[in-house]
Chain A
């Protein structure tokens, strides 16, 4: 039992904006009152619900591939020293699993959503998630290039496709559905891509990326998944791709959807030398369409490693950079590509990307619909989030940074004209309350009675970077896990799963297809629920 007294509370889900309140915690939950137990004097400190990362890549085959490819970065990374309660590990561009938990918690984040899981290697993802301590976890299964689903969508068998998708969500022990470059990764298996929403995909007669987007969004809504279709649009990273993004958004009208890392889909121009930010156009459309949420996918200058299921894009990036290239095509389902990358302020494209991420966060009116991410590790590593918070809260600091980017970029971006500054209340929305709501995790991202006792206590420091980098306390499930930069406890987090309704008979349809196309036996394909360390099976929403 813990009572936290005297702190200024920022709890947007309950409309509390900096009022001084006592917060009582017992049994891992926020309660109305406690009798006895420890009291934390938070006088003069700031209290927020623990951070929720809606889109990150922290576990599974692709990030583990990235770890293998970047030993030179591990050598210069922060190193966690083993103790009796903590495991050794490394930070850096692709942190090791234990370090991932320590780094997230160390900055006040207590829930993470791994955004890309192939069913075929979902066991691997869950084994890694089990080794990510402290935080609660969920993951999204990759679906928009799954050939069994694609064949059904082409045949117009949406009903059967829905049962297959539901079966696959449960088979992979996922929480939601992710669509990456719909059709493009399937085309990549023939060395091609899918850039136009209305063109048939290589290897298919009539199926288009637009049809996949619509079909999956409809299925996700019909199943009543708490998190809507999580879409990584076609044509990522390419100059002029804003038209594809807008078309995708239009295709989604009438459905809920989460547009992942929108920054990477917000460019105008015809080629790399004329690339510009088109965030104004995008934000305008987005503001008018409340069926959509998004995360920024913001970029920070520096070294990182890019990881995505978008194989063709990574081949292009390899050709552009001449650096290492990792590629893994996953049979019948998806793929992944990995390329180390350095974002430089002197580079026009990188400067536009840096500005575009911030612009989206500043131009989208409703903070409940745009969330702080860097698409870790693609735009920057998650442990650099405090730098983005500083950029959002301090216009003068933004201007300082703007002075250091290449002058060529100034007329290609909107950022110099934007003076908006985020308040602490809004920061609590984009880092916690908003993403929790978009994920359908009602007891996360808020501090009302009954909420999970995940919260962070910051010094009320005018130096925003210092404030958000070094919380005074972080509590997870009512336990103090971080105190003044020291990791005090490393409890194991839970994993959220969904078991949507499906006709058990769908296995009779899947089995022969599977045995024909895959290389393992059908029985070995699903992840047994016993493999999940602390599973919590959540309900689908009422489907009306």
Chain B
């Protein structure tokens, strides 16, 4: 189990005739997704656009996205992993326990109907949101959905894609991977990258009080993180780079106003499907870009004596 079977959004536009949104509310969170990529566009192989597509929404409550769906499946909160596991059994014609089906809040008829439709699809896609990946089961839920999509390829073409958002989070993930091998939660304290989500992720470092200082770029942890993490940010020297004053700015020692990328600063944004898009500024800004500020901080830091002792250039024995 593992991996990801996915595609770029143009494949969805041109081919997808069966679309599942799981644990997400694109109508409100990704308002252009339906019109640009997934539902409305007329594609090369789905010439009638929306009419050629079947749309299923799986969520624990009725959201505004329900209106856009043909089928709504309301799962009992915290039972996504169970539903996905039952679906993995059903596609392979394996027996499932009716009591376990009953616990999910869905009926066997609903699930077998879903499986039949999935298998009939020419090109199926499952988009999943934080309602799946950040609730009980967390990454195991994502893994179950990704595995279901992979296994569906024994019957027809099927792919899956996380509904990512929050600015250029995908870009950060992509760059960290090529520079360090890991997407996030990376610790450089030994001079080389180490990865351990839950230990080295920002929220964990802050809650434990491990960090001596914080540089916050394009994020507002002061608004989203748990109180102990916020308390620690207030305790240590925190520097915020942001076009506007955020919750984090208010508790930081330093706030540096920067130009808005894509409006007054150039750059590259990575779409949720990891396709890079060039960002060209339409306006001039009196403020420096994030890049410029970071470069100047970096130059100043480089002028300091190197803190890593001369213990070789590389190690074959990571500890």
Given contacts A79-B318, A84-B306, A329-B7, contact A69 B192 (CB under 8 A): no
Binds A, one of B74-82, B198-206, B272-280: B272-280
Given contacts A328-B7, A519-B9, A519-B36, contact A82 B178 (CB under 8 A): no
Q: How far is the CA of A332 from the CA of B44 in the complex (A)?
A: 10
Q: Are B44 and A517 in contact (CB under 8 A)?
A: yes
Q: Are B191 and A82 in contact (CB under 8 A)?
A: yes
Chain A CB within 10 Å, residue with most, of B3, B157, B277: B3
Given contacts A90-B193, A486-B313, contact A121 B275 (CB under 8 A): yes
Q: How far is the CA of A332 from the CA of B13 in the complex (A)?
A: 11
Given contacts A84-B302, A327-B5, contact A71 B315 (CB under 8 A): no
Given contacts A89-B192, A120-B275, contact A81 B36 (CB under 8 A): no
B168 proximal to A (CB < 8 A): no
* Chain B residues numbered 244-259 whose CB sits less than 8 Å from any CB in chain A: none
- Contacting residue for A331 out of B8, B183, B195, B268, CB 8 A: B8
Q: Are A338 and B7 in contact (CB under 8 A)?
A: no
Q: Are B318 and A75 in contact (CB under 8 A)?
A: yes
A189 proximal to B (CB < 8 A): yes
Chain B residues contacting A81 (CB-CB under 8 Å) are 190-192, 308, 311-315
* Chain A residues numbered 327-382 whose CB sits less than 8 Å from any CB in chain B: 327-332, 335, 338-339
Q: Are A90 and B180 in contact (CB under 8 A)?
A: yes
Q: How far is the CB of A303 from chain B (nearest CB, A)?
A: 15
Given contacts A86-B313, A325-B5, A329-B159, contact A123 B178 (CB under 8 A): no
Q: How far is the CB of B92 from chain A (nearest CB, A)?
A: 13
Q: How far is the CA of A339 from the CA of B13 in the complex (A)?
A: 27
B236 proximal to A (CB < 8 A): no
Interface flags, B115-147, vs A, CB<8A=1, else 0: 000000011000000000000000000000000
Chain A residues contacting B167 (CB-CB under 8 Å) are none
Interface flags, B177-194, vs A, CB<8A=1, else 0: 111111100001011111
Q: Are B2 and A69 in contact (CB under 8 A)?
A: yes
B112 proximal to A (CB < 8 A): no
Q: Are B177 and A520 in contact (CB under 8 A)?
A: no
Q: Are A128 and B178 in contact (CB under 8 A)?
A: yes
* Chain B residues numbered 205-237 whose CB sits less than 8 Å from any CB in chain A: none
Size category of the binding interface on chain B:
35 or more
Q: Are A124 and B181 in contact (CB under 8 A)?
A: no
Q: How far is the CA of A273 from the CA of B267 in the complex (A)?
A: 53
Chain B residues contacting A325 (CB-CB under 8 Å) are 2-3, 5, 150
Q: How far is the CA of A420 from the CA of B144 in the complex (A)?
A: 52
Given contacts A318-B150, A517-B10, contact A524 B313 (CB under 8 A): no
Which DSSP category, helix, strand, loop or mixed, fits chain A's interface? Answer: mixed
Q: How far is the CB of A519 from chain B (nearest CB, A)?
A: 4
B85 proximal to A (CB < 8 A): no
- Contacting residue for B179 out of A77, A131, A519, CB 8 A: A131
Q: How far is the CA of A123 from the CA of B276 in the complex (A)?
A: 6
Chain B residues contacting A67 (CB-CB under 8 Å) are 177-178, 181-182
- Contacting residue for B183 out of A68, A98, A519, CB 8 A: A68
How many chain-A residues does the 8 Å CB contact rule pick out?
Answer: 65
Q: How far is the CB of B204 from chain A (nearest CB, A)?
A: 17
* Chain A residues numbered 37-88 whose CB sits less than 8 Å from any CB in chain B: 59, 61, 64-65, 67-69, 71, 74-84, 86-88
* Chain A residues numbered 288-331 whose CB sits less than 8 Å from any CB in chain B: 315, 318-319, 323-331
Q: How far is the CB of B199 from chain A (nearest CB, A)?
A: 13
Q: How far is the CA of A332 from the CA of B14 in the complex (A)?
A: 9
B37 proximal to A (CB < 8 A): yes
Closest A residue by C-beta to B6 = A328
B156 proximal to A (CB < 8 A): yes
- Contacting residue for A78 out of B1, B159, B316, CB 8 A: B316
Q: How far is the CA of A228 from the CA of B302 in the complex (A)?
A: 45
Q: Are B275 and A520 in contact (CB under 8 A)?
A: yes
Chain A CB within 10 Å, residue with most, of B190, B275, B311: B275
Chain A residues contacting B52 (CB-CB under 8 Å) are none
Given contacts A81-B314, A519-B36, contact A330 B157 (CB under 8 A): no
A144 proximal to B (CB < 8 A): no
Chain A residues contacting B8 (CB-CB under 8 Å) are 120, 328-331, 519
* Chain A residues numbered 495-544 whose CB sits less than 8 Å from any CB in chain B: 516-520, 524, 528
Q: Are A96 and B181 in contact (CB under 8 A)?
A: yes
- Contacting residue for B3 out of A83, A89, A326, CB 8 A: A326
Q: How far is the CA of A496 from the CA of B72 in the complex (A)?
A: 53
Chain A residues contacting B14 (CB-CB under 8 Å) are 331-332, 517
A191 proximal to B (CB < 8 A): yes
A127 proximal to B (CB < 8 A): yes
Given contacts A127-B268, A486-B313, contact A88 B192 (CB under 8 A): yes
* Chain B residues numbered 1-33 whose CB sits less than 8 Å from any CB in chain A: 1-11, 13-15
Q: How far is the CA of A98 from the CA of B302 in the complex (A)?
A: 18
Q: How far is the CB of A321 from chain B (nearest CB, A)?
A: 11
Q: How far is the CB of B211 from chain A (nearest CB, A)?
A: 19
B63 proximal to A (CB < 8 A): no
Given contacts A124-B276, A318-B150, A524-B278, contact A326 B192 (CB under 8 A): no
Interface flags, A187-226, vs B, CB<8A=1, else 0: 0011100000000000000000000000000000000000
A97 proximal to B (CB < 8 A): yes
Q: Are B11 and A329 in contact (CB under 8 A)?
A: yes
Q: Are B178 and A131 in contact (CB under 8 A)?
A: yes
Chain B residues contacting A98 (CB-CB under 8 Å) are 179
Closest A residue by C-beta to B194 = A75
> Which 5 pairs, one residue from A and one from B, show the smallest C-beta to C-beta distance?
A331-B10, A79-B192, A329-B7, A324-B2, A324-B3
Q: A86-B313, A190-B122, A524-B277 are in contact. List 11 more A-B contacts (CB 8 A).
A: A71-B182, A71-B195, A75-B195, A79-B192, A82-B188, A127-B276, A189-B15, A191-B157, A327-B150, A329-B8, A519-B8
Q: List 12 A-B contacts (CB under 8 A).
A: A68-B183, A69-B2, A74-B181, A74-B193, A89-B193, A92-B181, A121-B276, A131-B179, A191-B156, A319-B154, A325-B3, A327-B5
